[in-house]
Structures are given as C-alpha cells and as structure tokens.
Amino acid sequence: MASTRYASDRGLTSRMLVTMFLLGLVYVVFVTAFFVISPQFGAIALVIALAFLFAQYFFSDKLTMFAMHGRTVSPEEAPELHGVIDRICAMSDAPKPRVAVADTDVPNAFATGRNQKKAVVCVTTGLLRRLDPVELEGVLAHEMAHVAHKDVAVMTIASFLGICAGLITRFGLEWGLWGGFNRRDNDQNTGMILLAVVAVSAVAYAVSFLLTRALSRYRELSADRAAALLTGRPSALASALTKVSGEIARIPTNDLRQAQAFNAFFFTPAFGKGFTISHLFSTHPSLDRRLAQLSKISDQLSRGV
C-alpha cells in the first residue's frame, strides 16, 4: 500500500484491524478448546485446512482464472482495456497486473493474486459491452485498489479459521453418523467428546463466517473510496455501480447462479432483481451505502477538502 498512490482510510482500516483481531481471538479460543477437548481429533482436519490455505494462497490467481474461464489478453488483442489499465498504473504508481477477459455476459470484474507481482485483473465481455471508458476506468481502479490493499492475501488468511472449523464440523458429524458411535456404544466419553468438538467447531465457524463477511464489506468500501479519490471521478464509479447492478437483474437466473460462487471476488455481487439477503451475510455493502459514500466523496472533492 505504501508503494502506491492509493489513498488510505483510517476509519475503514481501523475497522478491518478490529475485525481481524476478533478473528484472531476466535481462533485462539478455538485452538484452546480443542487442546482441552481432543487435540488428536482436530489434528487431521487442521492439516487438511492448512493444505487448502496453501493452495488458495499460492494458486488463487490460477484457480480463479480457471474457474471463471478467463484468459490473459495482450495489448494487441485488447488495446482499449490495456490503455485504461496503463492510465491507472500511471496515476497510482503501481506495477501493471496481468490483464484478462472472461467470456460471459454477466457484467462484472475481479482481481486476484496474492501480491502485485502475481496480480490479475479480469473483466467480463458483458462488462466491456456495457460501460463507457470513464465508467470502466472507475471499475478497474476499484479492482486495482484490491491489489494495492493486498485484499486477496488478507481474505485468504481471514477465511482459514472458517475452513478449518467447517472441516472439523463435517468430519465430526460424518464420523459420528457412520461409525463413531456404533463402534463404541458403551463409551459415553467418546460420544461426549465428539459432540463437544462438533459444537465448538460449529460456533467457531459461525462467528468467523460473520466476521469474514464484515471484513469483506469493509474492503469493498475501502476499494470504492481509494478508486474514487485516485481517479477524481466518484460519479463515474457510482454510474458504473448503478448500471452494473441494473444490468445484472436482467441476466438469466441460470447464468447468475453459476456466477454467484465468485461474488466475494466480483466488483458487485451477481444477484438478480428482488433478491434480499441479511446485511450480516453479504460479501458487499448495499448499493445505497456505496453510492452514499461516493456522493460524500464527490462533495468533498468539489469543496477541495
């Protein structure tokens, strides 16, 4: 972050730090509980979770690009897209990421990669068809802010506890249902330990899930703010948000369902018109909240604040 010209936000940064602290606290409680209850049972799930974390951290760019059917494009193949990226790199003093395109009509964009050297910024063909160059610049500045903020690495690490707790919960339930209890009908201690393991894991998963979603919403607001201040055009980003949200509502439901697995990566979530979800479970802030923040930034810029 220090090597780029993306503006920081102390308020959002402090909230993200508090969320990360709470995640760490839950992790400490989780590990301590397992040490007291049954350290042997959690060891296998912990090793598997570490393997998932390793793969997600080091191969996130390749895995996401493969899943989204994205392909890297050269300046000759996509001169306008590369031109916008080059302008943002010049404004932000950031290294140029790889540029990719995903052939889908769902209008969206995402950034992936654990650091700036491994970063990829990908846009869909649906987004390229719908946005003008100024709106596209706002969206891509938002995605490159995620790269500058190291959001992929942060969210990968933050999600580790949830992955670990979820695996232990699943393994515990399957072990109990498919033989754990049947093999030891007379061993009440084993059953009690198993129930305690599942209960602790389920609680840890639920709490970490909520905290990770809150962290995801903060990083989206932070990327919006950084992009708006960098380009000096918060209205362009607001226009892109409004347009993309409206266009997504017109996309066929089957296409949206295929894209929803990647909502945490996307510029705006792939939910159709009429979709309602609790704020606590959302990966993104509401459209109204994002537009309100951009309107506030626009007022500040107009007054020279």
Reported as a single tens digit per residue, the pLDDT across 212-251 is 888 889 889 999 999 999 999 999 999 999 999 888 877 7
Residue pair 72/94 in contact by the 8 Å Cβ criterion: no
Q: Which amino acid is at 6?
A: Y
209 found inside a domain: yes
Tell me the residue range of the domain where 202 lies: 10-303
4 found inside a domain: no
Q: Tell me what pLDDT residue 2 has.
A: 43
Give the three-state DSSP class for 100.
strand
Q: Which amino acid is at 115?
A: N
142 is in an annotated binding site: yes
Q: Where are the alpha helices (DSSP H) in the chain?
A: 10-37, 39-68, 79-92, 125-130, 133-148, 151-158, 160-175, 181-183, 188-231, 234-248, 253-259, 287-303
- Pairing verdict, β 120-124 and 98-102: parallel
Residue pair 229/293 in contact by the 8 Å Cβ criterion: no
DSSP 297: H
77 is in an annotated binding site: no
275 found inside a domain: yes
**pTM to 2 decimal places:** 0.80
Number of domains present in the structure of the chain: 1
Give the helix/strand (H/E) hosting 120.
Answer: strand 120-124
220 is in an annotated binding site: yes
Query: Of the ranges 20-34, 176-190, 280-294, which one carries the lowest mean pLDDT score?
Result: 176-190
Count Cβ neighbours within 10 Å for each residue of 3-40 and write b for 16 or more, e otherwise: ebebeebeebeebbeebbebbeebbeebbebbeebbee
3 found inside a domain: no
5 found inside a domain: no
User: So which residues are the catalytic ones?
Assistant: 143
Q: Where are the alpha helices (DSSP H) in 176-249?
A: 181-183, 188-231, 234-248
262 found inside a domain: yes
238 found inside a domain: yes
Place of tokens 């972050």: 1
User: pLDDT, tens digit, for every residue of 135-191?
Assistant: 999 999 999 999 988 888 888 777 776 777 766 666 666 665 545 545 544 456 666
